[in-house]
Structure 1
Amino acid sequence: MDSVTQAALGAAVAGMIAGRNCSPKVLLAGAALGTLPDLDVLISYGDPVSDMVNHRGFSHSLLVLLPFSFLLSWIWQTVKPTRMGLPRLWLLVAACLITHPLLDAFTSYGTQLLWPLALPVAISSIFIIDPLYTVPLLVCLAASLMWRDKMAHLCRVGVAISSVYLIWSLVAYSLVSHRVETQLADTPLAERPVFITPTPFNTLLWRVVVHDGAYYWEGLTSLLDKNTEVDFIAKNRGHWPIEERSNYLQMIERFSAGFVKYEQRDNTLVVTDLRLGILDYMPFQFSLAQQDEAEEWLLTDPVQLPTPPVKPKHLPALWLRLLGNQDIDANLCHVSECPHPVTFASN
């Protein structure tokens, strides 16, 4: 999740655990602890692909944060003793640190909760920025600064409301997953890998991607749709034209669980993570090879390509699609023909 959300969650969790000892300083400390795991973005691993796959690594691991929280709380209590005592202080520090990666695990990016074990968790039920999760935390924190005698109670209220919304995101994900599973049953795509993720800033409109070998099927579905069938569009995944598979390519493929697209743009070979983004706005696109004058491919150091600016026409279209207007699906996607069309039928 974004830094504002993580800071708000850390502050609210700190206030909730501090109880009668809650104060503006405690909230500030909680906000700092809540954003601490994301300081790994300051670490450079030497190239953009490594930076991508190693983010949310050791600094988000429960196996690292638990002992670190005890060390940090012991130093805190030794240097500047608090009225809470070491056990409650440790609980506060640990909760602020650990709720950060736990919340990140609900997004589609993936979080290495058990680093160094290679077991990333990506539930993908909430977008990385969702005001409906963050605003209750911010409102309750602001209110707690106004009514300081109710600080801890208001922090509990904020965490409770946001947690209920997070639970709702799981329910919404389950509803969409069941909808897609039902539609794909008894079709050639029934056993294909499926990726489902919410579109930006909401949990009503969802993006569905079905991996189909040389092609992938993409569609949007809203919980407000009257017709629950997803209008899938087939798109070409391309292929890797070089016999040698670079380490960078393998890293991207592992990180994305195979949901990648290979594309030649002029004399550049681009690999895109299909899970993250929407429409043509894919943030993780990397140039991995160049053609020479003889049109031979040469592997190059990875370069992350910029995401194109959002087209103004897409914003109202996405809003209408969220509200259940299924007539605009074709306008939101670039249609490409598929040589083996599939008929989707609900049971």
Structure 2
Amino acid sequence: MPSYRDLPSSALIQEASNWRRDFHAHPELGYSEHRTSEKVAQLLESFGLKVTRGIGGTGVVATLQNGVGPSIGLRADMDALPMQENSCAPHASCLPGCMHACGHDGHTSILLATARHLSESNDFNGCVYFIFQPAEETGAGARAMITDGLFERFPMEAIYGLHNWPGLPVDTVGVNHGAMMASQDTFEIHILGSGAHAAMPERGNDPIIVATQLVSALQSIVSRRVSPLNPAVLSVTVIEAGSAYNIIPQIATIKGTVRCLDQDVRNQVQEMITTMVSNLPPAFGAEGTVKYMEGYPVTKNNPTCAERVRGVATELLGDNHVVWNEKASMASEDFAFMLEACPGAYFWLGADGASASKPLHHPSYDFNDDLLPTGVRLFSALLHSHQTNPLLK
């Protein structure tokens, strides 16, 4: 009988690689993962698992119960990105303008292979929920699943998720006891001035001048008003104003994003943006309004669960293959919503093989299938870790 310590069979890994390449060739955007989720559900049913469809839209949850014991959740994301693939791979995207450039095809295949591996071994007591989530890329599919009763319908003491990570070698795990990924908020600022002929600016109030002053002021928030010991990013990414060379416009618009690793800093930055928009434009005789949109929260690990990931990875891969207290990324991840609702941990699985992986969201990115067996072993070992040392006693 196979054990979680064993390498998954080569036949299973080859099958997982085939699934992965099929998903890659047929990408689907958030909340439109109809083909993907149906294939996932059918495979899970073929493994003998109880399957629930339609959680949070196109989400799927499979239940594997074996006796009495702790219950945990393992999560993978399924959606692709709205971008054109630039690849000569035989499994390249068949859909123009859509591709798996973040490895969710691989995450889905790892979790499917884990479900197959555990259903065949049955060497545990308890319950594991395999959670296949829609719409991670900006669609907040994790929140949609939670709103749809994920944790009430499938109660679990902990939940775990992983992400392939270019920059770390294959068979290397990166994890820390706190924030792994930043929060992600956006803002849209409107500066209302007064239009005029460009040759007679004194007859109007140029909102572009005000906007440029405000952009400079916004940059002082991170450089001068937030402690350098508390990482934050404020990026202005859009400035829109005007329609002709000889017209001073009425309105200028500024858009951007804020990323933070601490909720208090996140609140502080939002407050300072709002204050600046209220106070700076009137000094120029203009009016400023801001729409601040909170997005994903900080992806913050439960320290006990993070230590569990560290211990399992060290046991399976060796201490030299674990980067403990790995530096957090200023990118964001909607697994954060699940970690707010349930103890758990999110970790990175190295993607660099003999040559470095393309970056995430690159048009030539392709998931490294060498990660598949390591991901299956880590997920399986986390389940067994909860058998010997439950989180809830």
Instruction: Give the TM-score band, short-chain normalised.
Output: under 0.3
Which structure is larger by alpha-carbon Rg, 1 or 2?
A: 2
TM normalised by structure 1 equals: 0.24
**Larger fraction in helix:** 1
Q: Which has the higher contact order (CA 8 A, sep 6+)?
A: 2
**Larger fraction in strand:** 2
